[in-house]
Structure 1
């Protein structure tokens, strides 16, 4: 019985995370994170 409860809890956590990620309000934040590897570093590396 506890295995079923754990499975249900993990399923709800997964679906909740999936819904949170795909909300339109997060699009700008994720787009900015996606561009990070392509941006030039303007500063010299610090030693």
Structure 2
């Protein structure tokens, strides 16, 4: 998730919030619907 969101490797989501879960769900949806290019971002 950090790679696709271009977050630094040491980025920490706030404790007690569901923001990382929400980002993962959105990212999974975008990948499933082919709305983002996962091949170009893999580099």
Common fold by TM > 0.5: no
The TM-score range, normalised by the shorter chain, is: 0.3 to 0.5
TM-score (norm 1): 0.40
More helix by share: 1
Indicate the structure (1 or 2) with the bigger Cα radius of gyration: 1
TM-score (norm 2): 0.44
Larger relative contact order (CA 8 Å, sep ≥ 6)? 2
